Structure 1
């Protein structure tokens, strides 16, 4: 890593110039591993310059962990000469420290024109894309110089926009982006301490002139709002940072509770999530919101769409509370919908049934197994009664027929308008639609249920629902056809 710098003229370590309390505020030990490669994002400002030297000092100390440091610099090319000077300064820092140096030149204006994003958002997205790609290639983590003032501003900006406990937590010390670990060890250190660290250590740094412009929201908060609040509470920054710490702790606990509820009461079925409304109504609204957030996170992971906002979460939460209607459909944002049927709440991306299907079966011996839409497995098994004997064990997913009484070809198909079935044990016939309603089959599942019909179109069997009075086993039966399906009507 090169010779350790950071010594004053009288030979004192910079570490000695900071109080023990200042060093205790650093969040290093739990978040970094021995011999971990860390790419330090150094803009040239006092915060990132201080971060690099702090990590070097800590890594070289007996109490620290050995780190393999590298420097990455992002030139946004927005301030021309200033940007070039900052790049050269950071390049010299890497050279003097003897660590690898990585640099990229961003075309932020082109990104704005192409994506329609604002300057700050476009610059941030390009910056993080570079850092995560570089870290992936280098098998490294990324250290960022966000400090206590940044944290306080972030929390206040979220309060102004309207946020919940999760937003009040501000930035996390560690988070992952595209599987890359991003570390912010300075979130409890005020900027004034970082400037002092650089000045006492003789470390050159640059001041970004754009930080003085109130054109950007963050600068308005920093230059106008925070000074006004500090007149009321001189320790406003510390107070907001404490609020963030407490909020993150509370949010972590509540999310743990919500995850336990998700595990115990929510059934995942493909890309759907189901929960009984009776279970839902037992939950506190705070857990309801977080449970919806977990459900949407699960569903949106299948669609790669953005996380739903507070209004969408509240729309779903209030709909889940409704008991005035047995069935309804709520179409939410991001393609996620809520379907209530027979006391069951289903979060799904689909509100329409599957496509119709039909398969003609001439010879079940040639093809005894069929895979139907929705992953339903259908199996035919023929037995000669007089030769082998056969004990019929019928259920809602298994039925036995007199093979010689079946009119071929048979057809396995989805339901059609006007379908009726002569149910075994009942006089006359009944509409399939009414049977499905009586059985309380969710509407989204009905068009995907298979029906077995004979050559005359008579429905022989509706797996999961009922069998007909046709082709029953009798004393004269010689061949039995036993048909079974996998269980496909899910319940929770």
Structure 2
């Protein structure tokens, strides 16, 4: 296979990368990122490699880092490594493990690129983009989400975005490019993206083998329209006033804009407050837009995920971020604990509403803490483990309600979540073995 077998990647490199400046490739050790590293070198770029260890997969993560390091040494490619405590960052910020991993990874990549004065490249391809579009569509999104990823997005360049996974696999095979496999990628229940890649896209491809390519191509065709909406939203936000924990916009100017621009403005306000867009879906946006169009002078308010609210009063639309969720706190038998909007008491017998679980093992303490949305529970009678986030969706628990739920940890292990249930490994086996966490809403 010749280099021209990835012509769209060559074209994107020519368009967005400067051969006179160093290029930094983000490399996990998987097939796609190893192809990127090899391809950039073959194209004549002065390429360096950056690998981030998320400390989530133990020995397998160490294996990945050593594999990439050894290959770079053999090929005489400069290698940069970094690592971070993703779970600690997730707990501190209230984000999912997936979001926390992305935060730390991209911070490392950008810092490394800045030190090297390098252009930063990622190995996302057309199938990744199709998955992103479908995931955004399922979760609820505006036009921006339907555009998926872009070849050039701020300081990020994605040379492979118009090449398919199959084309990269063929390229790797032709050039004998080695890689390592992340075992979690083969588990459809490990992440929503895995489920789409392993279960949904193959079914769509039975209707049309090029389904992924067509989804990605449609996303590209929407970019110019999305750019126009972004410019209008940016112009509207010039009138906004931002204070600590809130941002306000004249309600009249907000109402005068089209609904697509209004939705974009709300998402930009959320970004400005550090709330993030992931859990703000179409339903929440539609509710805010409907309330904004109502006449009268009465104050109106709606809750959003992450403790945020949108309030319309006194001629302004204000988005406000409430204080962070309570920190992890130890449960002491018989001593009430005020945690968030709840009072939790550890007891030896059931008394009222609460959570039943086994007694802690020797040296094991029980704690109340915010939910880790990506953590998994295996509930009694269920067919395997499910993430907290998916279980909340199944039980129709809204994002604001979900963010306030107390989770019970035994040491560092998730034992139970209020309104969801107790993991089967923490169910009591006898009355003597039982403990009960009484939960009283305040």
> Which of the numbers 299, 307, 315 marks the counterpart of 1:328?
299
The TM-score with structure 2 as length reference comes to 0.61
- What corresponds to 1:15 in structure 2? 3
Shift of 1:190: 0.9
Moved more, 327-336 or 31-40: 327-336
- What corresponds to 1:98 in structure 2? 76
Instruction: Map 1:15-414 to 2 at 5 A.
Output: 15-16=3-4, 18=5, 20=7, 22-23=8-9, 26-58=11-43, 60=44, 67-79=45-57, 82-108=60-86, 118-176=96-154, 181-216=155-190, 217-260=192-235, 262=236, 267-268=239-240, 271=243, 273-275=248-250, 277=252, 282-294=256-268, 296=269, 301=272, 303-306=273-276, 309-310=280-281, 311-323=283-295, 325-326=296-297, 328-330=299-301, 333=304, 337-341=310-314, 344-347=315-318
Shift of 1:219: 1.7
1:336–1:348 contact (8 Å) kept in structure 2: yes
List per-residue Cα deviations over 1:282-316 (Å, max 9, x = no partner): 5432233334445x25xx63x54445824554343
Equivalent position SS for 1:195? helix
Cα distance in 1 between the residues matched to 2:302 and 2:135: 31
Distance change in 2, residues 1:229/1:338 (3 Å): same
List per-residue Cα deviations over 1:40-71 (Å, max 9, x = no partner): 1112222111111221222x2xxxxxx43211
1:316–1:338 contact (8 Å) kept in structure 2: no
Higher relative contact order (CA 8 A, sep 6+): 2
Distance change in 2, residues 1:269/1:211 (3 Å): closer
List per-residue Cα deviations over 1:21-44 (Å, max 9, x = no partner): x556x5223322343232211122
Distance change in 2, residues 1:23/1:38 (3 Å): closer
Shift of 1:84: 4.1
Distance change in 2, residues 1:50/1:30 (3 Å): same
List per-residue Cα deviations over 1:49-103 (Å, max 9, x = no partner): 1111221222x2xxxxxx4321112234555554444333322332233232112
2:143–2:226 contact (8 Å) kept in structure 1: yes
Shift of 1:126: 3.1
List per-residue Cα deviations over 1:351-404 (Å, max 9, x = no partner): xxxxxxxxxxxxxxxxxxxxxxxxxxxxxxxxxxxxxxxxxxxxxxxxxxxxxx
List per-residue Cα deviations over 1:244-287 (Å, max 9, x = no partner): 21233321122223444x27xx634565655463x555543223
Cα distance in 2 between the residues matched to 1:90 and 1:33: 25
Q: How many residues align?
A: 313
Cα distance in 2 between the residues matched to 1:119 and 1:329: 34
Cα distance in 1 between the residues matched to 2:76 and 2:139: 44
Shift of 1:169: 1.4
Equivalent position SS for 1:96? helix
Cα distance in 2 between the residues matched to 1:335 and 1:163: 18
Shift of 1:107: 4.5
Distance change in 2, residues 1:92/1:228 (3 Å): same
Contiguous gaps of at least 5 residues in structure 1: 1-12, 61-66, 351-492
Shift of 1:186: 1.0
List per-residue Cα deviations over 1:143-187 (Å, max 9, x = no partner): 1111111111121122222222111111232334xxxx2222211
Equivalent position SS for 1:73? strand
Q: Root-mean-square deviation (CA), in Å? A: 3.3
1:198–1:205 contact (8 Å) kept in structure 2: no
Distance change in 2, residues 1:163/1:206 (3 Å): same
Shift of 1:111: 5.1
